[in-house]
């Protein structure tokens, strides 16, 4: 059914149709509307049987999900930003134990400085946690990919993170086709784990493993996640067959088959990028885009075949690996090893800074003109950083950057100049 609906509410309704048996929730912006929506559905009796547990931290949220999933219950939670970091230890545990928990990450920046707005710093920081990471471009895709996420997770016995841009998607009200419950039931069979905590068949889960077998356990974790490169397209195909729309999968190419320049990105910014590409195509520029829908496992071969014919690739990413630069671009470099493709890294949209069409036009033009070098910080305010850079030249004990910059612009309470 087509509805004009907020992204979070659409996700909440969709998750409810997946019949999770345990939902644990801890508030953090911008994911909160999702669990609020689910709480209402559980409390009103529209989603049952389901236990909605208001926990005391994200660490507990993931831990409750671990206990519930190990007991055979379909388990769901949602988080963002600091919350994802706070549950980091439990994330690795959930994947190590092979528990098919599904979690929405409403992507948000990480502090300090505290910042509630969107970028991908949070989920990118957990790219090695053993979770499958799916990134969605629109609220329609968020709905569709959540349905697929439970099926992927339970097929592989691996946890899945559905990453959707905080505020940009979670709080956007737009037209979304919500599935019918019967369709969902037909697409997603009940969760039947191979092993679980059951007094009828006592089993030890989470035993210690030493050097004699730890490598083998990790190898198998990697092997299993790589199998997702087959399972994810299969589930996307099954979804398309049943629901009649294409969503999810590993990658999505946009006007890139013959493109000299291909822009690589994840999430909602792809919409803006595609608009700019349309305009540039009208002007005769050979440019296209590649959307990364599955970031973990990394579809290296698919990325290679999607990009290897290009002259240059511009990776636009909303996260920064401090000390090296781009994160997605490192992965793209790996996929294109041995090819002649030039790869540029553009860090954009950190902490919610809008990525505008004019900025992208400038970036793409610079890339095509061969003027991009190293890592580009899109729309960086040089005047703001120059003062601080100078101070750092004068003394290494220069203090925190954010506070120094506040002082430079004369904010009251920022301390003596």
Partner 1 sequence: MTATRLKYFQTGSFAAGNRLVNPESRSVQSGAERANAITCGHRACQGCGEALGARYALDAAMRATGGDLIAANATGCLEVFSTPYPESSWQLPWIHSLFGNAAAVSTGIAAALRAKGNTHTRVVGQGGDGGTVDIGFACLSGMFERDDDVLFICYDNEAYMNTGVQRSGATPPAAFTTTTQAVGEEPGAPWGQGKSAPLIALAHEIPYVATATIADLRDLEAKVQRAMSIRGARYIHVLVTCPLGWGTPSSDSLRVARLAVETGIFPVWEGAYGDVTAVTKIRHRLPVEDYLQAQTRFRHLFKPRRRDALIERVQARADRNIRRFGLIDPVEYDPVALHVEGGS
What is the contact surface with partner 1 in residues (CB under 8 A)?
A: 21-22, 24, 49-51, 53-57, 59-60, 63-73, 75, 89-90, 93, 97, 197-199, 201-210, 212-213
User: Which residues lie below 8 Å from residue 380, measured CB to CB, with a gap of 6+?
Assistant: none
Nearer to partner 1, 63 or 272 (CB): 63
Burial (CB count within 10 angstroms: exposed 0-12, middle 13-18, buried 19+), residue 233: middle
Nearer to partner 1, 48 or 175 (CB): 48
Would you say 346 and 316 are in contact if contact means Cβ atoms under 8 Å apart?
A: yes
Nearer to partner 1, 205 or 411 (CB): 205
Q: Name the pairing type of β-strands 287-292 and 251-254.
A: antiparallel
Would you say 40 and 69 are in contact if contact means Cβ atoms under 8 Å apart?
A: no
Q: Name the pairing type of β-strands 173-177 and 2-6.
A: antiparallel
Nearer to partner 1, 199 or 284 (CB): 199
Q: CA–CA separation, 380 vs 398, rounded Å?
A: 21
**Beta carbon of residue 415, minimum distance to partner 1 (angstroms, whole number):** 34
Distances (CA, A) of 231 to 74, 150, 165, 325: 19, 12, 24, 31
Nearer to partner 1, 64 or 235 (CB): 64
**Beta carbon of residue 130, minimum distance to partner 1 (angstroms, whole number):** 14
Q: Side-chain half-sphere of 81: how many Cα atoms within 13 Å?
A: 26
**Beta carbon of residue 64, minimum distance to partner 1 (angstroms, whole number):** 4
Nearer to partner 1, 54 or 305 (CB): 54
**Beta carbon of residue 125, minimum distance to partner 1 (angstroms, whole number):** 19
**Beta carbon of residue 153, minimum distance to partner 1 (angstroms, whole number):** 16
Distances (CA, A) of 246 to 12, 148, 166, 226: 21, 12, 23, 22
Nearest to 104 by CA among 4, 156, 36, 196: 36
**Beta carbon of residue 191, minimum distance to partner 1 (angstroms, whole number):** 11
Nearer to partner 1, 219 or 399 (CB): 219
Q: Name the pairing type of β-strands 261-265 and 287-292.
A: parallel
**Beta carbon of residue 77, minimum distance to partner 1 (angstroms, whole number):** 10
Nearest to 11 by CA among 134, 179, 153, 126: 179
Torsion angles phi and psi, residue 195, rounded to 5: -135, 145
Nearer to partner 1, 55 or 402 (CB): 55
**Beta carbon of residue 57, minimum distance to partner 1 (angstroms, whole number):** 6
**Beta carbon of residue 56, minimum distance to partner 1 (angstroms, whole number):** 3
**Beta carbon of residue 231, minimum distance to partner 1 (angstroms, whole number):** 25
Q: Which helix (H) or strand (E) is 261 found in, with range?
A: strand 261-265
Residue 236 has a CB neighbour count (10 Å cut-off) of 21
Nearer to partner 1, 203 or 412 (CB): 203
User: Which residues lie below 8 Å from residue 79, measured CB to CB, with a gap of 6+?
Assistant: 26, 28, 31, 58, 61, 87, 103, 104, 105, 106
Q: CA–CA separation, 81 vs 123, rounded Å?
A: 8
Q: CA–CA separation, 309 vs 298, rounded Å?
A: 19
Nearer to partner 1, 215 or 305 (CB): 215
């Amino acid at each position: 059914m087509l509805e004009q609906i907020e992204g979070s509410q659409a996700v909440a309704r969709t998750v409810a149709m997946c019949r999770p048996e345990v939902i644990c929730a801890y508030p953090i912006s911008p994911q909160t509307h999702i669990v609020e929506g689910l709480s209402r559905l559980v409390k009103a009796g529209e989603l049952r049987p389901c236990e909605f547990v208001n926990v005391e931290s994200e660490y507990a949220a993931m831990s409750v999900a671990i206990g519930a999933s190990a007991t055979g219950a379909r388990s769901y939670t949602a988080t963002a930003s600091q919350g994802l970091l706070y549950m980091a230890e439990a994330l690795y545990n959930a994947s190590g134990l092979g528990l098919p928990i599904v979690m929405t990450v409403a992507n948000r920046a990480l502090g300090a400085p505290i910042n509630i707005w969107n970028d991908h710093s949070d989920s990118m920081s957990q790219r090695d946690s053993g979770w499958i990471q799916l990134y969605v471009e629109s609220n329609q895709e968020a709905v569709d990919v959540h349905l697929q996420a439970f099926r992927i997770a339970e097929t592989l016995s691996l946890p899945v993170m559905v990453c959707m841009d905080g505020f940009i998607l979670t709080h956007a009200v737009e037209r979304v086709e919500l599935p019918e419950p019967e369709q969902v039931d037909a697409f997603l069979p009940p969760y039947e784990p191979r092993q679980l905590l059951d007094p009828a068949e006592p089993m030890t889960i989470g035993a210690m493993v030493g050097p004699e077998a730890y490598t083998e356990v990790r190898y198998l974790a990697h092997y299993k996640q790589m199998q997702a490169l087959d399972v994810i397209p299969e589930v996307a195909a099954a979804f398309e067959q049943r629901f009649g729309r294409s969503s999810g999968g590993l990658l999505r190419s946009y006007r890139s088959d013959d493109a000299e320049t291909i822009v690589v990105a994840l999430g909602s910014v792809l919409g803006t990028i595609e608009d700019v590409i349309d305009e540039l195509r009208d002007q005769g520029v050979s440019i296209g885009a590649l959307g990364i829908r599955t970031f973990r496992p990394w579809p290296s071969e698919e990325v290679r075949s999607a990009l290897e014919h290009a002259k240059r690739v511009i990776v636009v990413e909303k996260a920064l690996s401090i000390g090296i630069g781009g994160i997605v671009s490192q992965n793209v470099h790996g996929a294109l090893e041995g090819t002649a493709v030039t790869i540029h890294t553009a860090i954009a949209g950190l902490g919610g800074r809008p990525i505008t069409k004019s900025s992208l036009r400038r970036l793409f033009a610079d890339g095509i003109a061969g003027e991009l070098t190293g890592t580009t910080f899109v729309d960086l305010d040089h005047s703001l950083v120059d003062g601080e850079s100078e101070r750092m030249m004068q003394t290494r004990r220069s203090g925190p950057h954010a506070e120094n910059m506040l002082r430079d612009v004369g904010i009251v309470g920022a301390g003596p100049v």
